[in-house]
Each structure stands twice: as structure tokens, then as C-alpha cells.
Amino acid sequence: MNHWPAMLVDFVSDGWQLLSQFWLLIYILMEVIGIIFALESIFKSRTSQGAIAWSLGLVFLPPLVVPIYLFFGQRRFYGYVEARRKGDLEIQRIAQKMLAEMEQHFSLPGETPPGVQLLEQLALMPFTRGNRVNLLVNGDCIFREIFDAVDRAEHYILVQFYTVRDDRLGRELLTRLAKKACQGVHVYFLYDAIGSFSLTRRYLKQCRESGIQIEAFRTWRWFRRRRFQINFRNHRKIVVVDGREAFIGGANIGDEYFNRHRRLTPWRDTHVKLEGPAVQGAQLSFLEDWYWATGEVPEMNWHPVGVDCDQRVLILPTGPADPMESCQLMFLHAINSAQDRLWIVSPYFVPDESIVNALRLAVLRGVKVRLMLPGLTDNRVVQLSSYAVLMNLQHSDIKAYQYRPGFLHQKVVLVDDDRAYVGTANFDNRSFQLNFEITVMVRDRQFATEVEKMLEEDFRSCVPLRGEQIEQRSWLFRALVKLAQLFSPIQ
């Protein structure tokens, strides 16, 4: 008799059983790893919402979530903090020298309100006097001022952006920087490796051939411990010229900032131009990032000079390497210190419970709170998450508005009639926990009035947005809103 068919069936059956056992063992191993990572997320996560979101996925869907957690689950950025705080004596020496020379520009005793001293501790730098701050509205004004400053450079230019594109704006920046490099001006160009993932090799090659020192800020290092740090981003946008002028704000290098986006035009953004001792703070932030990316400490001008204006300014870099949640604490302080008015403008508004409760308390003590959010968006999931926040706030007196003409990308906070914040940070978990950000805080009534006029103009282009409107949408839409909120802590 021919036993081959029976033997073949037995062979296939045995092979299938072995394969099933193999995959069962793999699943058990992934489940064990998932439980271990879930415990780690509970002990190390900075927020309870994040710990819950990660733990559920790690325990119930380990084959899918364990690899994601391995790459995106870290909440502390390792390596940078050692170089910044205690690891590099050269940076420490520069920072100490800078602070010593800036002492004459520090706010005088009694000038700084006691509560504001908290921000100085977060920034590791006091408020400075003798500054001039100019408000720059939208791409044409922003880049006209930046390019004019670049053309005036005599010694060096520091350029840092989250997103750099090889398009018309990117090419114009390259042309101007290359021209200055040919004149002997040192150009240091830093971009985020993930935010600028589409930047072409041609662009990088032409930069280097022109004498521009261009480097990527990569948050992972394969040869170091904790190498899976790819969920962090350097979201800062800084330009410094000769240590005399600095530019900080929301705009990146891309044609969309010149209203050349097919869907999100017109693009609304805000930057500030700084002159005076505060420029040194922006320069120090760039130096720390450049050191992480290259291990080098280039020569810079560390001699602050005041200008014929006396605006008080604090530069506050924040990020996942900080020992505390500096960005979140900065915004919590802004909310808690408001006495009369609080206006918040953010393209990505997904605050955690502590921020939401602080907003509720501000309203209860009589503060008039306004929120300005985008109508058009480049991230639908984040927008849905923000709707969930508004649903939770619907029974408060917080007034929310949706900007209609185009994409609202500016990050601005106005407190009472004397304080304004302009920078790169959004009101979401990514800016609070994962991104390197930088914010300019200005304590000056004149500047606050300018910000007020700018935002009043923006509010005239908005429509009211109430939680009740979202509640009245279809059950499918509300389900998507709740689902997006569930995953907002790990976005």
C-alpha cells in the first residue's frame, strides 16, 4: 500500500502544530514583555492618561503595541541632559560667563513679581532689561525681516528650524546663506531629522559645498544606551545673527508660510524679533542643541548689549531633557497668574486634566478666558481630540473660537494687560512632554497692547465654537472624538 498520502498529512499536521506552538510561545513572550512595559509606563509615565493608554494596549494587544512602545514610549530624553546640566564644562563655562556679563541687564530688585521668579528658575536665567521686541505677523513680514538680518551678518548666523523644505522659500534661504558663507561669515544650520524628513540630498549637498555647516538634530543614537528615542522632536525655530538679533516663533521654512499650500492657505503665523541681552538666551539654546548634534562648541559673541528700549524679556527653552515638565509648568503659571484676561491661541489644543482644571479655576475667579483654534487643520486626529476638551469645558464660561480664513499656526498667549508669550509650543502633550520648544515671554504693556490688537483682528475672522455644537453632531462623529481623546496622551 502507498503510505505517502497519510505520511504527508501527518507531516503537515505535525508542522502546523509546531508552528502553532511556536507562535503561541511568541505571543506569550510578547505578553510578558507587554506586562513589563506596562508596569514601566505606570511607574515612569509623566501623566496618568498616558500610563492608562499605554498599559491597555501593551496588555491586550502586545504584538502590535510592544514595538510601538519600544520606539515611541520613552518620556525622558537621555544624553542631552548630561551635556546641558553637568556633562560639558565648556558649555557650563560659557553659560556662567554669559550670566556674569548679563548681570547689569538683569531686572532690578523688586521689579520682578514674586510669582514670575518661578519662570526664571525654569529658564535658569533671569528676566533682562534693555530689550526691544517687534511683533512679526505672517510669512511675508517674518521672512523679510529674517532675510534682511541675514544680509547684514558680519560674523556668524545661527539657523534652526523644525521643518526645512527644498522649495522656493528653502532655496531662497539657501541662496542668501551661501552668499554670506562665501563672504566669510560662519553659518550654522540645524534642522530636525524627522520634521525635515523630506529634505533632499541635493539641498544638503549644496549647503555643504557653499560652506554652510548644516546638521540634523537626531534624538536617537544607535551606539548609546536608550537608543530608541525617536518619538522626540526638536520643534524650535531660531535665527540669531552676530549675537545681536534673534528671531523666534511659529514659522518654518516652507512655501506654505507664503500661502502656497493648496488646501491650508492663507497660513496664519506669528514670530518675534529680539534685540538686546535676551538674544543671548536664544543663542545659548541653539548652542546646546548644536552641541548635542555635533559635539562642537563654535565661537559666538557672548557680550550682551542693551538697546534704546527697556522691555523685560525672558527666553524659556523647554524640553524632555528637563528634570521637570517645564513647558507645562510655564503655561500653568500663565493661567494661574491671570487676574483679568487670558487669551490662548494654539493650532493643537489638547491639554491634560491639570491645564483644563486650571482654566476652570481661572474662570471661577473672574478671568475672561478666550481660546482661538483652527478651523482648517493639518492633523484631523488632534482636532478631534480638541473637540473632546471643548465638550468637557462646555459648562464653563470659557469662550472658544474657530479661525476660518485658513490654517491658524501661531502659538500666542496673552495674560492681562502686561504679559505676552510667543514661541513654538502648542497646548498639547507633544509640546508638554516630547518636544524641545522655546518661548519668549515679554512683560511690557506696550507689547501686550500690540499683541491684543493683532489677536482682536484675528478674532474678527473667527466664529464661536461651543461644546454644545459638538454634542449635537452625529453619534459616529462623537465616537470618533472620544476615540481620538483616548489616544491623545500618546500622540
Note the pTM of the prediction, 2 decimals: 0.85
Q: What pLDDT score was predicted for residue 225?
A: 44
Among 105, 166, 180, 237, which one carries the catalytic annotation?
237
| Residue 186 phi, psi (nearest 5) | -80, 130
pLDDT of residue 224: 46
Residue 313 has pLDDT above 50, yes or no: yes
186 is catalytic: no
Q: What would the grid cell of residue 476 be? A: 459616529
Residue 411 bears catalytic tag = yes
The answer to whether residue 292 scores a pLDDT higher than 80 is: yes
214-233 pLDDT tens trace: 999 987 654 444 445 567 89
Per-residue model confidence (pLDDT) at position 107? 66
Pick from 61-75, 321-335, 455-469: least confident = 61-75
Residue 237 a catalytic site member: yes
Q: Would the CATH topology of 80-107+127-311 be identical to that of 326-490?
A: yes
Provide the 3-class DSSP secondary structure of residue 412: strand
Predicted confidence (pLDDT) at residue 90 exceeds the cutoff of 80? no
Chain position carrying cell 544650520? 189
What are the tens digits of pLDDT across the range 18-59?
Answer: 667 667 777 778 778 778 777 766 666 656 666 676 677 777
**By CB neighbour count within 10 A (0-12 exposed, 13-18 middle, 19+ buried), where does 313 fall?**
buried
Q: Catalytic one among 105, 180, 235, 273?
A: 235
pLDDT given at position 178? 98
The CATH fold assigned to 80-107+127-311 is Endonuclease; Chain A (3.30.870)
Write the pLDDT tens digit of every residue in 407-454: 999 999 999 999 999 999 999 988 998 899 999 999 999 999 999 999
Residue 180 is predicted with a pLDDT of 98
How sure is the predictor about 295, in pLDDT bands with cuts at 50, 70 and 90? Answer: confident
Give catalytic status of residue 444 as yes or no: no
* Residue 384 to residue 386: CA distance in whole angstroms: 5
Q: Would you say residue 176 has pLDDT above 70?
A: yes
* Choice among 166, 242, 269, 352 that is catalytic: 242
Most confident segment among 122-136, 144-158, 222-236: 144-158
CATH superfamily of the domain spanning 326-490: Endonuclease Chain A (3.30.870.10)
* pLDDT score recorded for residue 384: 81
Q: Which band of pLDDT confidence, cut at 50, 70 and 90, is reported for residue 488?
A: low
pLDDT over 90 for what percent of the chain?
54
Question: What single-letter DSSP state applies at residue 13?
Answer: H
166 in catalytic set: no
Query: Residue 73 has what pLDDT?
Result: 59
Mean pLDDT of 318-328: 88
Q: Is 235 a catalytic residue?
A: yes
What's residue 60's pLDDT?
73
Which candidate in 368, 416, 418, 482 is catalytic?
416
| Cβ-based neighbours of 127, under 8 Å, separated by 6 or more | 106, 107, 112, 116, 120, 312, 313, 314, 443
What are the domain boundaries of the chain? 12-72, 80-107+127-311, 326-490
Catalytic residue among 289, 411, 428, 458: 411
Active-site entry in 409, 428, 444, 458 = 409
- The pLDDT of 185-198, averaged and rounded, is 96
- Exposure string over 230-267, b if 16+ CB within 10 A, otherwise e: ebbbbbbbbbbbbbbbbbbbbbbbbbbbbbebeebeeb
H or E segment and range at residue 326 = helix 326-337
Question: How far apart, in whole angstroms, are the C-alpha atoms of residue 488 and residue 491?
Answer: 5
pLDDT of residue 86: 47
